[in-house]
Amino acid sequence: MLTKRIIPCLDVMEGRTVKGVNFINLRDAGDAVELGSLYAEKGADELVFLDITATVEKRKTLIELVRRVAKEVNIPFTVGGGISSVEDVSALLNAGADKISINSSAVRNPGLVNTLALEFGSQCIVVAIDTRFDGEKNIVHTHGGRTPTEIITENWALEVQERGAGEILLTSMDHDGTKAGFACELTASISASLQIPVIASGGAGTMEHFTDVFTHGKADAALAASIFHFREIEIPDLKKYLHGQGIVMRLEKSFA
């Protein structure tokens, strides 16, 4: 059985980690590099750094931040925000990122997924999907969740897999920041239809929510932000709890 992963997400704005509810009302949560290093020490399996205003402000993810993270962090990390070309990806990977995440640029130009997968390998191409339920169906959103499209989420997940994505980062905007639990039904539906891993994001509030998304939601990894940033749940405690629930985790020797 494959090990399930715990992934802290650091939404970055001007080098600081921020967190909001339903993608708005942001508040400061600390230095991005310092937090990333701390999470690595505590047993996080991977990290995700998202420059949340890069696409909106038409600028690129900060290469310098990636270099700083690579020097301080010894676990794999993904970087996203404003990535739209082979040159962008090459610069980020050369600066030390292990994977890159694309969202708006993939929706705008689906062929970009094919191009990046061929150039760099599917293993380092993550397609992030920000989704909201419109009362009838799940709809993909772009530009940090600000812009709705007409694309049905489940169809888009299948398409990007076919185009060469190596992983899906699925964020439920309806659940984001609410701490009411992950979108397990949607996550399970997409996970069952794909052969590539699905990272569930949006709604983590308790340890039980992680159990739910790994069992009922069929997620390969679970991503969370504020509960880690504000130390509501400590990663070692979470992994010990999940291990006790029969979920296969990578445990550090110090707290196995």
120: tokens are 């760099």
Residue from 45, 51, 88, 130 carrying the catalytic annotation: 130
Is 51 noted as a catalytic residue in this protein? no
Give CA–CA dist 247/252, Å, rounded: 15
Contacts of 25 (CB under 8 A, 6+ apart): none
What does each C-alpha distance from 118 to 77, 96, 236 come to in angstroms?
21, 20, 37
DSSP letter, residue 122:
G
DSSP string, 165-202: -SEEEEEETTTTTT-S---HHHHHHHHHH-SS-EEEES
What does each C-alpha distance from 66 to 78, 82, 164 come to in angstroms?
9, 14, 24
Residue from 11, 45, 88, 176 carrying the catalytic annotation: 11
Give CA–CA dist 204/224, Å, rounded: 6
Task: Cite the active site residues.
Answer: 11, 130
